[in-house]
Structure 1
Amino acid sequence: MNVTTEELDALQELINIGVGRAASLLNEMVDSHIQLQTPFVKVLTLSDAYEELAPRFRDESLATVRLGFTGSFYGTAGLIFPTDSASTLVSVLTGEEAGSADLDAVKISTLSEIGNIVINGVMGSLTNVLKQHVNYTLPIYLEDTIENLLLSSDESNSKILLAQARFAIEQLEIIGDILLIFLVGTFDVLINAINEELQII
């Protein structure tokens, strides 16, 4: 299914709403003011997503939080950022010094919580506005290369909804990518639900 400009604009608006909600929740958790923005949203195949991201992340170990979802549509959602940026983000949020022995101890739990908040914000926006229902698995944290994260997937025919999430924290900018992966059939369900909502508005 090809996505029209109007459908892509609607997807970006829904993701922006979800990211905004996630930023509000993160701001409640920490003293720092956090801004989250999504400069772009793209719909890609797994191989195209790899070609897009590989030049930026080739041979780099990435910190990833992902969870599965089932229901009206199903697949995997993940929040990905370079490991160094992840460590910096955790350091800012927890007060642990970058490079300290204690940082790794809190990194996994902190990033899992951040990933859970951001992913649930985005998925909640999609499902609430489109009046769909999904169930989530528990978030999983892992570190791996972009090649293994994308090309090892069993869902080779999946469509990827790729949204770049830009974090701005007290003049410190950290960039991460939100990857929403849908099986082709259920991606069509998502687009059809968007078109139904567009007709109502």
Structure 2
Amino acid sequence: MKQLTEDQIDAIKELINIGVGRAASLLNEMVGFPICLEIPFIQVLTVEDLQQELIARFNSNYLATVRLGFTGSINGSAELVFPTESASTLVSILTGEDLGSPDLDAVKIGTLTEVGNIVINGVIGSLGNLLKQRMNYLIPTYTEDTVENLFAAVEPDDSTIVLAQASFTIEQLQVIGDLIFIFELQTFDQLIAAIEEVS
């Protein structure tokens, strides 16, 4: 697993915080009332540690995730992960659909894909702009599955996982979610080099 210095972790945290701030502003515009997104801390983890961390944090092995791949100077993917209950609550708040509504599942995929797209684009776009790195985005995908299945395709020897634990606060209602970045090892080194250049 890639070892980072405290300074490097702080620099990544600062960059992600800037992106999350921009994403929060976009979401505020979209829904018309305040949404606060915060990144409390950053961890660099193995795939196994990530799976254990998510299960412990959400007290569930079944999660909802929006995944957005990116390529360019830095390759990898970003995931916005929620417990399914938080995902339903968030969709209900954003769309006005009642939590018990039979239509909720029908609108959930589109709504969460759009939210994930906005949040992840905000963060990855900021990283690219601040570090002057070219980024291309793939189409976001929405999945509900077990933690093991969600990350089964990650190659431990070729990837660096950065877990950014995100807290969504919406009008006194706490909806929790995590932002997870999976960088190809070689391009993660380029990310660190670019961060050190601008630091």
Specify the alignment match of 2:177 in structure 1.
Answer: 176
Aligned pairs for 1:1-201 (under 5 A) are: 1-57=2-58, 60-150=61-151, 152-157=152-157, 158-198=159-199
Provide structure 2 residue ranges, at least 5 long, that are not aligned to the other structure.
none
Are the counterparts in 2 of residues 54 and 147 from structure 1 also a CA contact under 8 Å? no
Measure, in 1, the Cα distance between the counterparts of 2:123 and 2:191: 13
Give the 3 Å change call, closer, same or farther, for CA 194–44 of structure 1 in structure 2: same
The CA RMSD measured in Å over matched residues stands at: 1.2
Range that drifts further, 186-195 or 153-162:
153-162
Report the Cα distance in structure 1 between the residues aligned to 2:68 and 2:112, rounded to whole angstroms. 13
Q: Secondary structure of the residue that 1:101 maps to in structure 2?
A: coil
**One-letter amino acid of the counterpart of residue 168, structure 1:** T
CA contact (8 A) 2:55 2:61 kept: no
Runs of at least 4 residues of structure 1 off by over 6 A?
Answer: none
Is the partner of 1:39 in helix, strand or coil?
Answer: strand
TM-score (norm. length: structure 1) = 0.94
Query: Does the aligned pair in 1 maintain the 2:81–2:177 contact within 8 Å?
Result: yes
1:153 corresponds to which letter in structure 2?
Answer: A
Q: Partners of 2:162 and 2:154 in 1: how far apart?
A: 17
Structure 1: distance between partners of 2:37 and 2:13:
13
Shift of 1:56: 3.2
For the Cα contact (< 8 Å) 1:67–1:136, is it kept in 2?
Answer: yes
Report the Cα distance in structure 1 between the residues aligned to 2:59 and 2:176, rounded to whole angstroms.
16
Gaps of 5+ in 1: none
